[in-house]
Homo-oligomer: A and B are copies of this chain.
């Protein structure tokens, strides 16, 4: 069953699971393992991963620890946010959007070090295996993919820990017992699922939330901020220019303080089942709301409505792991075309779980007080035009009515 593999690049967090995978790969495939640890702003120290990899025999030049935070926000999060992408009406795709970047970097490293295989620690029931592997195959059609969770027989926590102990892999105390839920984190969001969350009727326990204050504990006084956009992307907070990752981090702080961006949902996985999860997307939620705010003022109706119709499809593509697909790129081309004048400032009020747009302005505003005003508009709009407009829009309905449908 196991094809011969020479060298494999593993997406390696340094945690227990991927450490076991590292060892299992070495053993099962008698191959050289190259580790890749990405800093996507998940808020963990990454250097311990280096020590651990070294300890398990990975050559120093085969340990890759990359800070991808700016690339993540600039080339993945922001383009997605331009689309106002929301999966199933509520989910801001925080996990989904990180996978293609990891896959891309793994394939780049594989090419650099001459590896013929890549591997990841995603299980066989989830979406992430799909997202990783569609990314791998799109970028290197001939790469060998190893998905240990679908191959090995370490099917229970107990077996996994036994394997670790047998192979001198350190197991921290808190990993010995079963965690009450599992999480994934990056700069955009933290997801939690499993165990205590599995009954969708049970409220998510308070202790599951890790990145946002409980709205009840958030400040009693609202806070106002502004976000400046240029061509569809955020560039400044309260007038202070900052890089994409810095901007998102800053919004994460605001979101955390005010308890913004919590989501308890049941979603439909690409692999065919429903799952229940809890997501915290503090800064992303604020950003998403603000982006819609600036679009309200600067986007033409035709463009806006076309975007709204395309957005569910676009979101589905990202959710399903099809970032590197021609159809996602086509949609992106359309979306990006629409953003040329999405420039201006949005003012938001943050308060106990809420982020409200309370003002927006733009040098490219399409809003015309002169046209819309209840006051005399000095001929900017001829109300008589409305009659013809209605008459011709009604014509087909009248013909229908005469037929007696």
Contacts and interface: CB of A to CB of B under 8 A. Distances in A.
Interface of A: 84, 88-90, 123-125, 129-130, 133-134, 137-142, 147, 149-150, 155-156, 182, 194-195, 198-204, 215-216, 220, 222, 262, 264-268, 271-276, 292, 296-297, 299-309, 311-313, 316, 322, 324-327, 329-331, 333-338, 340-341, 347, 349, 351-354, 356-361, 364-369, 371-374, 376, 381-403, 405
Contacts of A199: 369
A265 B357 CA distance: 8
A143 to B, nearest CB: 9
Contacts of A216: 220, 222, 351
A301 B331 CA distance: 15
Contact of A371 (B138, B273, B296, B364): B273
A398 B141 contact: yes
A360 B316 CA distance: 23
Given A391-B382, A395-B272, A305 B312 contact: yes
A393 to B, nearest CB: 6
A371 B266 CA distance: 14
How many chain copies? Answer: 4
A390 B149 CA distance: 14
A390 B130 contact: yes
A340 B329 CA distance: 12
B385 A387 contact: yes
